[in-house]
Structure 1
Amino acid sequence: MTTSRLGDYLQARRAQVAPPDVGLPEDGRRRVPGLRREEVAMLARISVDYYLRLEQGRERRPSPQVLDALSDALLLDDDGRLHLYRIGGVIPPPRRQGSIEQAAPQLLALAELWDRTPALLLGRAYDVLAANTLGRAVFDHLQPGTNLLLTIFLDPSVRSFYIDWEKAAANVVAGFRFLEGAWPHDPRIQEVLRTAMENSREFTDLWRRRDARGKSDAAKVLLHPDVGELTLQLQAFDVRSAPGQQLIVYHAQEGTRTANALRLLGSLTVTRSGDRDDMRGRTS
């Protein structure tokens, strides 16, 4: 009998799913553990003959829709689903996500340990979901609850913050185009896109260029109102537990003026926080 990696995987995974796990009765007359082929076919809404061909390796190119249905029928997690797509020979589409994104508490706790490293957590539509203390101090205009793209184009005060605003704006638009391609039906992405196009001709012109690229290692030169010019290296990390989210980390080479400025800014932030706490204590 012909076999394939896909067929072997499907057979192994259905053996791991008990009928009650998917709402089917346990009849007690099963010769093998797990689900029968006809049950998987029914749950995935495909024909039994087609599913049999998949398991036997006679059908090797199922559609993304079929693979998605099979991953749901077999209760695959995100990693299992990704593996199913890979051995099925297709690129997996992203999981549908809700319109409200949240930052993982563990990730925030980790970022707060970096007292010399500014960090921002961005959502799928470039919403600023969180920032560590130094990140909020460096990017005062990008507090949690704001949107990176809309701030870049609709807040005139940030143009002096970016030494090369035109380059920063082009990079943000290319990154947003990259995300929009991965999440074309995300309601928040479409909302941000409409707002930017309705309110910024500069954004519209850049959007029509159709540049698309994800965030990567790059140098950013900023002009901070308290500590002057900062040259920061950017690194972007995908958040596996929340597809579409990115942790953006900035760092400076040790011994440089920027590294010293970040230490000074961190000290200023602690001092101001203490002053505010004292003021609240005196007025309470």
Structure 2
Amino acid sequence: MADNHLGEFLRARRERVSPSAVGLATIGHRRTPGLRREEVAARAGISIDYLIRLERGRDRHPSPAVVDTLADALGLDDDGRTHLAELADPRSGEAVALRTTASEPIRTMIDSWPNPTIVANGILDLIAANVPGERLHHGIGLQVGDNMARALFLDPGAREIYLGFDDVAAEVVGNLRSLSATSGVHPELTDLVGELSVASDHFARLWARGEVRGKSDGVKVIAHPEHGRLDLRWSTLHVAGAPGEMIVTYSAEAGSESARILAGLGAPGSPPRSAHRHHPG
């Protein structure tokens, strides 16, 4: 992945739009998947030359009005529209330093919370966790310092741990693409996407789809080696002053077995942390 995030995103999304979905006739063989450049340009009310400049990175900052018409032409949802606007913002090229550890105030805050909580940076490195958060990951091979996307796609045991693996994988890739706008042009992000695209065909296919998923909240079902099935809901708080940095806290339905297990993770005498399982790559 080069640093032309805007152009790469426009191409990826253009190739994902079915002509029939936007009312275009499909007569004969189309060499280009999705929409042709001239079709997108016509729908957006811009010239083909301008669209080519955007896709090739010769113009990286279209106006808000052009961003809106392109989003309409490509049928982007709210996350996709937000991502496109962030990519077009001149500030998106300014790399923000990636933290490798959470700040002391953040660590103090999450340590006071009873729910399992972790902190991730703009490329999904796990940079902090409270005690219940550490214990939640006991046995599944994740600890502070690991990259969550790398662990998901390169650890052969991940498919057994994350029930609904394909949905989790699509969510993580969508999160990573969303973070690519707020993190700026990071060599670490470029290297991570390149590494995973080579090492995992599944990742490469998902990245090429260009889908964006803002990390806000959702559900996750884990087949935990120690605790059995855990039906979890996660919620995200974004850290002001640290673009891309996220606090993720886990909960479960009140009165459920999963809630009982989560409550026990913070109790004295809970199992110690497991040995870190090696992740390929």
TM over 0.5: same fold? yes
Is 1:215 equivalent to 2:215 in the alignment?
yes
Structure 1 residues 158 and 270: alpha-carbon distance in aligned structure 2, compared to 1, 3 A threshold: farther
More helix by share: 1
Residue 253 of structure 1 aligns to which amino acid in structure 2? E
SS of the counterpart of 2:249?
strand
Shift of 1:131: 0.9
Distance (whole Å) between structure 1 residues aligned to residue 241 and residue 183 of structure 2: 16
Shift of 1:183: 3.1
Distance (whole Å) between structure 1 residues aligned to residue 116 and residue 90 of structure 2: 33
* Structure index of larger Rg: 1
Alignment of 1:40-189 (within 5 A): 93-94=91-92, 95-115=94-114, 117-140=115-138, 141-189=141-189
Shift of 1:160: 1.2
Shift of 1:193: 0.8
User: Unpaired runs of 5+ in structure 2?
Assistant: 1-60, 62-87, 274-281
User: Unpaired runs of 5+ in structure 1?
Assistant: 1-63, 65-89, 275-284
Distance (whole Å) between structure 2 residues aligned to residue 256 and residue 168 of structure 1: 22
Deviates more, 1:96-105 or 1:214-223: 96-105
Distance (whole Å) between structure 1 residues aligned to residue 212 and residue 245 of structure 2: 17
Shift of 1:260: 0.6
Structure 1 residues 119 and 92: alpha-carbon distance in aligned structure 2, compared to 1, 3 A threshold: farther
Distance (whole Å) between structure 1 residues aligned to residue 135 and residue 229 of structure 2: 14
Distance (whole Å) between structure 2 residues aligned to residue 92 and residue 249 of structure 1: 32
Of structures 1 and 2, the one scoring higher in RCO (CA 8 A, sep 6+) is 2
SS of the counterpart of 2:163?
coil
CA RMSD, aligned part only? 2.3
Moved over 4 A (4+): none
Residue 207 of structure 1 aligns to which amino acid in structure 2? W
Give the fraction of aligned pairs with identical amino acids, expressed as a percent: 29
Structure 1 residues 231 and 183: alpha-carbon distance in aligned structure 2, compared to 1, 3 A threshold: same
Shift of 1:92: 6.5
Shift of 1:236: 0.9
Distance (whole Å) between structure 2 residues aligned to residue 149 and residue 179 of structure 1: 12
Residue 245 of structure 2 aligns to which amino acid in structure 1? Q
Is 1:198 equivalent to 2:198 in the alignment?
yes
Shift of 1:124: 0.5
Shift of 1:93: 2.2
Deviations 1:186-229 (A, max 9, x none): 11111211111121111001111110121122111111111111
TM (norm. structure 1) is 0.60
Shift of 1:180: 1.3
- The equivalent of 2:279 in structure 1 is none
Residue 127 of structure 2 aligns to which amino acid in structure 1? L
Shift of 1:184: 4.5
SS of the counterpart of 1:93?
helix
Aligned length: 185
Distance (whole Å) between structure 2 residues aligned to residue 234 and residue 240 of structure 1: 19
Deviations 1:28-50 (A, max 9, x none): xxxxxxxxxxxxxxxxxxxxxxx
Deviations 1:63-94 (A, max 9, x none): x9xxxxxxxxxxxxxxxxxxxxxxxxx95725
